[in-house]
Amino acid sequence: MAYLALYRMFRPKTLDDVVRQEHIVTVLKNQIDTGRIGHAYLFCGPRGTGKTSIAKIFAAAINCDKPVNGSPCGKCERCKALKDPSNLDITEIDAASNNGVDEMRDLREKVQYPPVAGKYKVFIIDEVHMLSPGAFNALLKTLEEPPAHAVFVLATTESQKIPATILSRCMRFDFKLIPQSDLEERLRYVFDSIGKKYDQEAIVAIARAGAGSVRDMLSVADTCVSYASGKLTYADVTTVLGNTDFSAVATLCDAILKGDAGAAFEKTETFLAAGKSVGMLLKDVMSFLNACAVAKTCRDGKTILAFPDSMYDEVTRIAKATDGHRLLRVTEIFARMETELKYSTSSRILFETAVLKAAMPQEDYDLENLIARITALEKQIAEGNFTQNAGGRVEVSEIPAPIKEEVKPEKAASKAEEVVEEYQPAFDVPPDEEQTGGNVYFGGFEPPAPVKPKPKVEAAPIKAVKPTVSGGGKATFGGFLRTIRKIARNGVLLTLCMDLDGQYDGDVFALYTTSDTIYRSLTKPEHYALIGQAFAEMGLEEGQFEIRLRGKQSDAFQKTVNEIKGTFEGVPVEIK
């Protein structure tokens, strides 16, 4: 006898043997038990979920003399007659190859003839959405009022393509994807039945590759059985599926998440030069990033992923070293690239661009990425993994903490005199006698060639002079920024302060921001202390300055409003 594929060998023979779909099986069993058989059924849902199998079981069961729990007994004369290939009481039609008007007219003529061996003449039309508009019209009247002995079962994966006039004449059943736990149980039953030894990790990998489809899973399993002569392992399944070596993908993703663009690009070139498909490589990268997300957020991540211990330890290590915002942003970049890849003629360049974009967060101005960068800087500052060089620019040190060299303030000041940075801030800053040409040096801009420094002049201390012009405060704000640059060793704090807006509110100088994230960062004790020190050098004491979130009322304002409401109780107070 010729070899049968596993999905054909283990096709369900009874409704009890169907994997899941209980909501459909229960209805059909009740109809068979009560004899309330409809004339048209529509089975729709993803591929490999049991539509055709249930249609065949149902067709045999309604013709059986003594059905057992809604399934054909297989022993009566009618069941034996229906197994004969020459029997025409159950007819299967492939609508993909018989989609014309003539085929449906021929079907309409055959419907008129009564069954030969059974009680019903059943027509199973698979992939019915492939019928042409003319064929649907030819089928319409027959489907609405068929002979008493005719039953139609329509199966499709795309119910949205079926005309509403057809849908309204059928009893519709929606099939669902099979949960992975049920796929694993079914696959273990199949392997035990054929005597194939296996590892549990291999079962999980094949079930995951099935993606909710029993037929897809068994097709992969069939290939794996032929590949592995002995015990089926996880490595065998990975090879059959064409996945990239796990450790190599882990190395690539680790370099991307750490921001090592050079290593990530070199690893990508190694994959592509070896002939690796861009689509498959993208799938592997996204699968690994998804595994990192599971390991980082789920308590039982090891149970969900079902990886071998060594693989799960590697995923956990990379996930713990990555910030959540960073992981989310990298995943978004590759997920968007999956859509763009379908319409690109240069898939290799597109993938390399995505790798560079994901591995170079300093060049990415997405909000999630900026938040991740600020979080990473704050973490490094809290751990002390930074040094301050000339001009107040902060650089992360690659030297371990015990042997890290501390840059003394006087040494940094002497180095600062050797460089002039051509950067003009967006706000109006009065010239500072200690600066060359009033320019402000800020980290992130490459300095020009060294020039001869100007003579050093003793500068008078900066004083916060309240401007008399309405809407002023630029002078005070400029002095504040120059002062905070001198006293703060925190490049993050200076960066946040650059985005503020300063002005006087009565006798109080207020720093405004519209970002809740920046507001919360500036009001942290360590940042607020440095800001207070800067204002103290300018002559402003505690209570003479505030940090405010624009759009929300200050505490002092709210206190005043409450006093007014208490004094004039019963009088409506309108706040504009």
Check if CATH label 3.40.50.300 holds for domain 246-368: no
Q: What is the mean pLDDT of residues 107-116?
A: 89
Burial 221-254 (b: 16+ CB within 10 A, else e): bbebbeebeeebbbbbbbebbebbebeebbbbbb
Return the structure tokens found at 139. 């089928």
Q: Which of 252, 323, 238, 309 is nearest to 286 (CA)?
A: 252
pLDDT of residue 426: 43
Write down the CATH superfamily of domain 6-174.
Answer: P-loop containing nucleotide triphosphate hydrolases (3.40.50.300)
Cβ neighbors of 118 (< 8 A, separation 6 or more) are 62, 63, 78, 81, 82, 89, 90
Cβ neighbors of 258 (< 8 A, separation 6 or more) are 321
> Among the listed ranges 157-161, 295-299, 558-562, which one has the minimum average pLDDT value?
558-562
Pairing of strands 394-396, 386-388: antiparallel
Which whole-number Å values give the CA distances from 23 to 47, 123, 180, 571, in the listed order?
Answer: 18, 23, 18, 64
Question: Which band of pLDDT confidence, cut at 50, 70 and 90, is reported for residue 364?
Answer: low
The CA-based angle 376-381-387, given to 5 degrees, is 115
Q: What is the pLDDT of residues 304-354, one digit of tens each?
A: 887 888 888 999 999 999 888 889 889 999 999 888 888 888 889 999 999
pLDDT score of 62 more than 90: yes
Q: What is the mean pLDDT of residues 363-378?
A: 67
> Among the listed ranges 148-157, 293-302, 518-527, which one has the minimum average pLDDT value?
518-527
Q: Domain 464-576 has what CATH class?
A: alpha beta
Task: Check residues 482 and 94 and name the one with the higher pLDDT.
Answer: 94
Q: CA 281 to CA 347: how far, in whole Å?
A: 11
- Per cent of the chain over pLDDT 90 is 34
Q: CA 13 to CA 397: how far, in whole Å?
A: 68
pLDDT score of 384 more than 90: no
Q: What is the mean pLDDT of residues 185-200?
A: 93
**DSSP class per residue in 248-271:** HHHHHHHHHHHT-HHHHHHHHHHH
Return the structure tokens found at 105. 């007219």
CA 423 to chain centre: 39
The CATH fold assigned to 180-241 is Helicase, Ruva Protein; domain 3 (1.10.8)
pLDDT of residue 381: 77
Q: Where do the domains of the chain lie? A: 6-174, 180-241, 246-368, 402-460, 464-576
Question: Which band of pLDDT confidence, cut at 50, 70 and 90, is reported for residue 449?
Answer: low
Q: Which of 369, 359, 379, 374 is nearest to 254 (CA)?
A: 359
pLDDT of residue 490: 57
Pairing of strands 150-156, 171-174: unpaired
Q: What is the mean pLDDT of residues 406-431?
A: 42
Q: CA 53 to CA 41: how far, in whole Å?
A: 14
Task: Check residues 389 and 512 and name the one with the higher pLDDT.
Answer: 512
Dihedral (CA of 28, 32, 38, 40) sign: positive
Average pLDDT value over all residues in the chain: 80
pLDDT of residue 574: 65
**DSSP class per residue in 471-530:** T--HHHHHHHHHHHHHH---HHHHHHHHT-EEEEETTEEEEEES-HHHHHHHTSHHHHHH
